[in-house]
């Protein structure tokens, strides 16, 4: 009987602790400021601006707009982009003191396996196109921010320590992804 009582108490205590942490976590989650991103695709000149996070958490409509905007522009194929990538990009932008409505220049977002293979075949391995690219997983972008020195964008991305950061000064962009932390 004592063991069963302790089991119930433990279960009840655990449930209360879990509920309290969920409440605290929920308040902390809701306390995050609204997040939005604006882009201009340098290949199509298409622009888009979407709120992806608000008072109630992830904004599914905004994420869907970003998924569409970050699609593979070569074949119009889209995927579900990693919401953590959107958060990371907005944090990099904030670190650089860039206004949320300022458009990030998008060189590449999602890349279909077909596009990735074609780019790799056209330039060989030395192009920087990985055979298992984070772009194909919806976890990467290649970007530039107008008015921001590329080196400063690179340093801001590195300071996040939140994924892969590639520096391509000859091509004028920085690669940012939410894969494992690494640099090149």
Q: Are 103 and 146 in contact (CB under 8 A)?
A: yes
Beta strand pairing call for 173-177 and 140-144? antiparallel
Could you tell me which of 60, 160, 41, 42 has the C-alpha nearest to residue 50?
Answer: 60
What is the DSSP secondary structure assignment for residue 72, as one 8-state letter? Answer: B
Give yes or no for residue 17 having a pLDDT over 70.
Answer: no
Would you say residue 32 has pLDDT above 60? Answer: yes
Report which listed range, 16-30, 43-57, 108-122, is most confident. 43-57
- How confident is the model over 104-129, as a mean pLDDT? 80
**Integer Cα distance of 59 and 35 in angstroms:** 9
Q: What is the pLDDT of residue 133?
A: 81
The strand pair at 35-41 and 104-108 is best described as: parallel
Place of tokens 């996040």: 160
Structure tokens at 47: 């622009």
Q: Which of 1-5, 15-19, 112-116 has the weakest average pLDDT?
A: 15-19
């Amino acid at each position: 009987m004592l063991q069963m009582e302790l089991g119930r108490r433990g279960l009840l205590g655990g449930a209360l602790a879990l509920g309290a942490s969920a409440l605290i976590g929920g308040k902390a989650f809701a306390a995050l400021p609204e997040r939005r991103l604006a882009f201009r695709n340098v290949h199509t000149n298409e622009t888009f601006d979407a709120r992806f996070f608000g008072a109630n958490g992830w904004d599914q409509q905004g994420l869907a707009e970003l998924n569409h905007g970050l699609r593979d522009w070569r074949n119009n194929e889209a995927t579900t982009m990693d919401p953590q990538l959107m958060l990371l990009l907005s944090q990099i932008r904030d670190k650089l003191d860039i206004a949320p409505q300022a458009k990030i220049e998008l060189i590449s977002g999602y890349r279909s396996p077909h596009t990735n293979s074609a780019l790799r075949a056209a330039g060989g391995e030395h192009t920087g196109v990985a055979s298992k690219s984070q772009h194909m997983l919806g976890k990467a972008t290649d970007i530039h921010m107008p008015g921001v020195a590329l080196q400063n964008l690179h340093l801001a991305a590195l300071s996040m320590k939140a994924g892969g950061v590639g520096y391509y000064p000859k091509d004028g962009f920085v690669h940012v992804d939410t894969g494992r932390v690494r640099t090149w």
